[in-house]
Amino acid sequence: LNREATRILIVEDEALVRMDLKRVLAGLGYTDLREAGNAEAALALAKSEQPHLVLMDIVLAGGADGIDTANAIQSHLDIPVVYLTGNTDRAVMERAKESSPFGYILKPVEEQALYSTIEMALYKHQADRTLRQSELRYRQLFDEMLNGFALHEMLLDDAGKPIDYLFLQVNPAYEKMTGKTRQDLVGRRVTECLPGTEPYWIDVFGEVARTQKSVRFENYSAVLKKFFHVAAYSPVRGQVAVVFEDITQQKKTEEKLAHRTFHDALTNLPNRALCLDRILQALQRAKRRTNYLYAVLFLDIDRFKMVNDSLGHLAGDKLLQMVSAELSRHARSVDTVARVGGDEFAILLEEIKTQAEAVHVARRIMEGFRTPLLIDGQRIFLAFSIGLVLGPADYDRAEELLQNATIAMNYAKEQGGNRFKVFKWHMLKRIRRAWDVDSHLHQALQRKEFEIHLQPIYHLGTGRLAGFESLVRWRSAEGILVPPGEFIPIAEQTGLILQIGTWVLYESCRLMARWQRNLAGGAPLTMAVNLSAKQFSQPDFIRRMSRLLAETGVEPARLKVEITETMVMENPESVVAKLRGLRELGLTVSIDDFGTGYSSLAYLQRFPINTLKVDRGFVMDMDKYENLVIVKTIVNLAHNLGLDVVAEGIETEEQLATLAGLDCEYGQGYLFSRPMTVEAAETLVRDHFHSNRDDPPGHA
Ligand code: C2E
Ligand code: MG
Ligand code: MG
């Protein structure tokens, strides 16, 4: 508060003194002055003018004196009073003191004393008020906190080791969690109130007490049969404060989610993700052990679509369940039978003795299906096309192996189905040639036919534009805009993704660097770029990224790389090192399509990442309760791990409202905007920051 803006009410019955005071105050720079000559006028002005401070003469002519007037003012209003007095009579001073004034000034008033007393009073009043407010807020928080809170005094043994804890304070949430009341707890020992928890208290809180650090751990289930996150810290030596967050519900959903992400709902077989994980393990075992043989069978039902359409979907589902049971019959307990697609299954055979054994299994399966399946009284004959990959082969990635099994399966299909084919490398070459896409992509690179399109990402709480995701497009010679889904998988396979990905990275960073300079200025927009597994697994990936930053001049914090869960889980150790490298460069990292891969939620904590992007699939189906819970869980999980969340694929206002209600920070989707050209994005940025003039400064 500066001096001109400080409104002071002078209460003084002698006009001459009043004038003199006004002169001195004005000389000090206090120009917003009001004056009153008696108690009633003072009270009325205090109410109507709301001064910041009252200078109050103690002796007033007429009825009430200054002290009574001050009391009257303060019983209605929160305004500090400073007394002016020529009287140092003891009794008067005592009475004045009781009215808790903010200062006394002796008459005749001396300029410096007046100045310092006023400033002191204003400061003290402000400080008092802040304190009162924060106490109130704290009190409220404490009572309304959803998390249980308890404050303990430590009881120490002679050696200074904690042996028990006395409850000093608990909040309502704590009472609810433990099922005990405040009276049951406060003043009593923990071991007495919550028997059976000794090890927990003594060990963990002993640690806290010694180090005065906070700890966080889970699983306080012994007594309450619940899961908690517990944070403990020691605010004062000898005391321990504990905050319990009930995560039982979340735990349950996580388990469900884990099952869901690993298993196919219809057949309850492992899904593609889990299958890939098992294949990867087999690959790794094959590398460690000599003579370790395994095989992967990829099975696709011939003409399933026809069967499905003629039977109807319910019967189709039943059929798939029967198929899965039949396939499982041919597998031993070490093997994995998985449903990897609609009518696609994969079988991983482990520890086989000869490659012929795998061929034998394929034959047996085909024979098994010679007997028709009986559905609703109808006899259904099914045939399969089967592709086989025999290990050990030199694969690093499970996907690649599964893909090759698919290629072999397609060979079988091309030759009329109801047969199996063993994968041979020449098939890959032929397939590639057949697709001919690879060379097209090469050309496209040379002819600079790729473009990036940008999809805005918004902060859901404020509606502010937070940044963009850069999405590659191929504008083919015929002018058709080809979406990435149609060429990225092929580019992945041929390795061309490295060049395409590098181009996208450079293009996106150069663009952002340009915006930094002359478009969004200080607005902290981010640019998210998708990385493919091949890019990320380059041994010199970090060096490349560092060069990218240096060459494009993009501020590292504005660049966000998106990697998928699968990429993270495939090789956790080297991934952690790379993620650390990225962090050191100042980049941020998002996990894309979260919820669809097979990341173990527990693992996630170890990765230095910043953001989870909830997969579109969950957002789309949020009106299904299960999906809503999953989204909620992901958001909670992210927040517990200190990550923020971007929801993908928001298409409706309802989805937006739900997500905002879940405290999901950011969103992206057709509701806001489809991916757009760079020019359109620039216009969007300009308009956005132009129309939000009172947004934080810095925009151009
Ligand atoms: P993604 O990273 O999950 O990107 C989001 C995709 O969802 C984009 O598809 C976007 O257009 C689409 N989308 C956004 N909002 C909505 C919505 O509200 N509803 C629906 N139905 N869809 C929405 P797009 O551009 O076809 O990209 C598909 C995938 O291709 C990306 O998925 C990403 O995995 C990959 N990709 C795109 N660009 C690149 C790239 O430069 N490098 C690599 N390695 N992959 C890329
Ligand atoms: Mg993405
Ligand atoms: Mg995504």
The finding on whether 673 has its CB within 6 A of some atom of ligand 1 is: no
Ligand 1 mean position, distance from CA 593 (Å): 10
> pLDDT by residue (tens digit) across 545-578?
999 999 999 999 999 999 987 787 666 677 888 9
Give the pairing type, strands 148-156 and 81-85. Answer: unpaired
> pLDDT by residue (tens digit) across 427-481?
877 665 545 666 778 888 888 899 999 999 999 999 999 999 999 999 887 778 8
The token duo for 661 is 């209600």
Residue labelled with tokens 């009190």: 139
The finding on whether 595 has its CB within 6 A of some atom of ligand 1 is: no
CB of 94 closer than 8 Å to CB of 69 = no
Ligand 3 mean position, distance from CA 520 (Å): 25
The finding on whether 532 has its CB within 6 A of some atom of ligand 1 is: yes
Q: Which residues is 560 bridged to in the sheet?
A: 528, 588
Ligand 2 mean position, distance from CA 400 (Å): 21
How far apart CA 35 and CA 313 sit, in angstroms, is 87
Task: Please tell me the predicted confidence (pLDDT) of residue 207.
Answer: 59
Task: Please tell me the predicted confidence (pLDDT) of residue 252.
Answer: 74
The model's pTM = 0.49
How far apart CA 695 and CA 466 sit, in angstroms, is 12
- Let me know the angle formed at the C-alpha of 698 by 697 and 699, rounded to the nearest 5 degrees: 105
Q: What is the dihedral of CA 391, 393, 395, 397, to 10 degrees?
A: -10
Q: Which portions of the chain are predicted below pLDDT 70? A: 1, 137-138, 140-142, 144-145, 196-231, 234-236, 430-438, 520-522, 569-572, 596-603, 691-700
- Answer whether the bond into residue 524 is a cis peptide, omega within 30°: no
The finding on whether 491 has its CB within 6 A of some atom of ligand 1 is: no
Terminal CA-CA length for the chain = 31
How far CA 335 is from CA of 183, 220, 384, in Å, comes to 58, 37, 20
Ligand 1 mean position, distance from CA 515 (Å): 23
How far apart CA 180 and CA 203 sit, in angstroms, is 24
Q: Tell me which residue has its CA closest to atom 22 in ligand 1.
A: 649
Task: Please tell me the predicted confidence (pLDDT) of residue 223.
Answer: 45
Task: Please tell me the predicted confidence (pLDDT) of residue 492.
Answer: 81
Give the pairing type, strands 450-459 and 666-667. Answer: antiparallel
Q: Tell me which residue has its CA closest to atom 3 in ligand 1.
A: 593
Ligand 3 mean position, distance from CA 613 (Å): 6
- Let me know the angle formed at the C-alpha of 259 by 280 and 304, rounded to the nearest 5 degrees: 75
